[in-house]
Structure 1
Amino acid sequence: MQPSPIHGKGIFANQDIGRAELISEYKGARVPWQHVVQRASSYGKIPGHTFLFDIGDGTVIDGARGGSSVRWMNHGCEPNCKAYLSDGRVFIYTLRDIKSGEELTIDYGLVVEGPRTDELRELYRCHCGSPNCRGTMLAGTSRSKQVGNDTSNGLRPPEVCVLERPSATTIIVAWREAGRCNYGEQVWILKKAVRDGYCALSHVRVKTGDPVFMPRGTPPPINHDACIAEKAVPNLPGSLACLPLRRPNAD
């Protein structure tokens, strides 16, 4: 997190990041949507920022309460990241390749109750500077569309399935990622994580040096930088775990 040319503080890539890569889970307190509506004035005290994700079950995730640094991601009208829903949890994925030092952004797609006054438009004015900037972080006429179900750009977070564990140091993985790679039976071997990240199977946090499985191959496969935490894989052989990301229904 550092000062942003868009607004206040922002989140920046500390290394090159590939397309459709998991950035982080969006965490925070679970708050009833009605509570947010009733206390709308208090949630609008920080101009230009929103910390709330509507997850479609009558609650929102309030990133300002117990959330992580990803709550500081700024809005962009042509964002390089998008949020996806999986079992009531929100995960931020990249929409394209991102260079080290580039700011990470999502389209807030904010929706407010009542008329859009001049004061409201000014409060949520966009300063992203993209060629197709629409001038506002507001969008639509219903609740926020921050959590994605639009795949018109071809992006789908990877579907990961552990098919078999033939040995303590080897697993067989199916990895399907629209527009990028499709491995029906890929051999992954046990190694130590070379950097901090997230388990592709369980989304648990992985630290440098943790035991993880990574794809084997020469030349390296397209998903060579992905990892699955050893603790996320059952020990029994045979049919194991399959965790495709689920998308919410359109409003």
Structure 2
Amino acid sequence: MRSDKSSVSRFVVQPSPVHGQGVFANQDIGRAELIAEYKGARVPWQHVVQRASSYGKTPGHTFLFDIGDGTVIDGARGGSSVRWMNHGCEPNCKAYIFDGRVFIYALGDVKRGEELTINYGLVVDGPQTVELRELYRCQCGSPNCRGTMLAETSRSKQVGSDTSSGLKPPEIRVLERPSATTIIVSWCEAGRCHYGEQVWILKKAVRDGYCALSYVPVKAGDRVFVPRGTPPPLNHDACISQNAVPGLPIG
């Protein structure tokens, strides 16, 4: 059994029923709580393509994390222990990219002993053939397992995504909670807006919707955090459920 020295009380790496090694909570973890940073060597995508054979020693398995700027993080080279985190079709964690770095946060409350998973959402060239889906077969065992680690190709609208614009959903990170009614949020949305440190305040939701952080349904009247600013920020219609950030300390 191995553990990340900087997070020894938070998680451990041990054999997983999903695949090989896995990352398991070593204590109760609250929703929106930081798990760890995904670290490793920075590698240009062109370098990965040119040396594809060296990255494919285990079929369907990789430690490469695309950060969207033409480079990837190779967790197999000087990486942190979270590189062993397995895919889950109903994951309890999510990776957020901020200033070229990848941080993994809990999507919901996680009990000690539970395996921590993220949705790999792997993208490959060409159609998803039967052979390709078998190569990237998922064994997460969730009731709604899709059977593959490949990204969904359906054009139907998914919770938390903006298919009308064709852009990826925003990358969101709660940086701190200076008071019971205020949080500081990092919001990066491709082609629309970027806020490094945005102030959100606690109010009642004026309409039904979804929490931008946890994707949990929100009803009108629920207590939610909303972005503040004059003029109104471009993401003024977003909200984060009060229940999505209970684990953050109040300064």
TM-score class, shorter-chain normalisation, is 0.5 to 0.7
Equivalence map 1:124-143=2 (5 Å): 124-139=136-151
1:49–1:74 CA contact under 8 A, matched in 2: no
> Which structure 2 residue ranges, 5 or more long, are not aligned?
1-12, 154-160, 162-167, 187-199, 203-244
> Which structure 1 residue ranges, 5 or more long, are not aligned?
142-147, 164-172, 185-220, 229-251
1:17 is aligned to 2:17 = no
Aligned pairs, number:
171
Equivalence map 1:1-251=2 (5 Å): 1-139=13-151, 150=169, 156-160=172-176, 175-176=183-184, 222-223=246-247, 226=249
SS at structure 2 position matched to 1:10: strand
In 1, the alpha carbon distance for the partners of 2:69 and 2:48 equals 14
Cross-structure match for 1:169: none
- Normalising by structure 1, we get a TM-score of 0.59
1:30–1:62 CA contact under 8 A, matched in 2: yes
- Normalising by structure 2, we get a TM-score of 0.59
The code of the aligned residue for 1:138 comes to L
Deviation at 1:117, TM superposition (A): 4.5
The alpha-carbon distance between structure 1 residues 116 and 183, as it changes in their structure 2 partners (threshold 3 A), is closer
In 1, the alpha carbon distance for the partners of 2:38 and 2:16 equals 20
In 2, the alpha carbon distance for the partners of 1:131 and 1:64 equals 31
1:80–1:95 CA contact under 8 A, matched in 2: yes
The code of the aligned residue for 2:42 comes to R
2:177–2:250 CA contact under 8 A, matched in 1: no
RMSD (Å) for aligned C-alpha atoms: 3.3
The alpha-carbon distance between structure 1 residues 177 and 31, as it changes in their structure 2 partners (threshold 3 A), is closer
In 2, the alpha carbon distance for the partners of 1:177 and 1:102 equals 28
How many percent of aligned residue pairs carry the same amino acid? 72
Deviation at 1:50, TM superposition (A): 2.2
Q: Map Cα deviations across residues 161-207 of structure 1 (whole Å, 9 max, x no partner).
A: 879xxxxxxxxx963479xxx779xxxxxxxxxxxxxxxxxxxxxxx
